[in-house]
Amino acid sequence: MSSTTSVSSLARYAAGDANPLPPRHLGQRYDQAGTFLPEPGNTVVCHLVEGSPSQAAVLEVRRRMQAMPDANCLAFTPASSLHMTLFQGIIEYRRSLPYWPADVPLDTEIGAMTSLYLQRLEGFAGAGPFRIRVVDVVPTGLTVVGATDDDVRRMRAWREAFAEVFGYRHPDHDDYVFHVTLAYMIDWLDPDRLPEWEALFDDCRALLAREAPVFALQPPAFCSFEDMNHFEPLCVFG
């Protein structure tokens, strides 16, 4: 990916005609100071393996981003919460179909939904282990895919299996972009700053290719959360 192409692709994070409104999660998921707000829900994630080269490389990318002079445009997630979402659960502020199982009332309390899913997940076997690799670095984090064709198939199989258990398929079920979130946008970047951000991301891509060409992840875990600070494993598969 050339720098010219990459800088152009970063335009979706820049102030201007393409972004006339504030970032969509601002004021609901986090505030202007970058403090995460209550937003309870549940989800299936794979946390990074503690102490692994993968985790060290990601934390270095995060550190370099935080050192940028305009890093205050980003609300960084805690290092301890870093994960890849494998399948999206339900969330307090998204109570509508098809983001909720059609056979459960939309006003069901989040804790009750989590308990229901734990019941449905009893005996759930999953689709086996998989590994990932990074394909891009952007202001909000890392875009990842299965490390091999077999890993891609297994990740898809996990999602199909969870869709049956959870009782819904989001509109992006088949083309969901896997990622490791490092930050959320508080404010759009100054367009004049994009070349410096892209130079940083070029370096970060090289770092990840060198230090962590393949990521080791913890097994998928069904987790509950109160906000984006912590994802508590309730049921681990694998």
pLDDT in tens, 85-107: 999 999 999 999 999 999 999 99
Whether cis (ω within 30° of 0) applies to the bond prior to 98 is yes
pLDDT confidence bin for 238, thresholds 50/70/90: confident
Radius of gyration over every alpha carbon of the chain, rounded to an integer in angstroms: 18
- E-strand ranges in 22-67 read 41-47
Taking CA atoms, 131 is separated from 73, 142, 155, in Å, by: 31, 15, 9
Summarize the confidence of residues 28-56 as an average pLDDT.
97
Condensed to tens digits (0 to 9), the pLDDT of residues 150-159 reads: 999 999 999 9
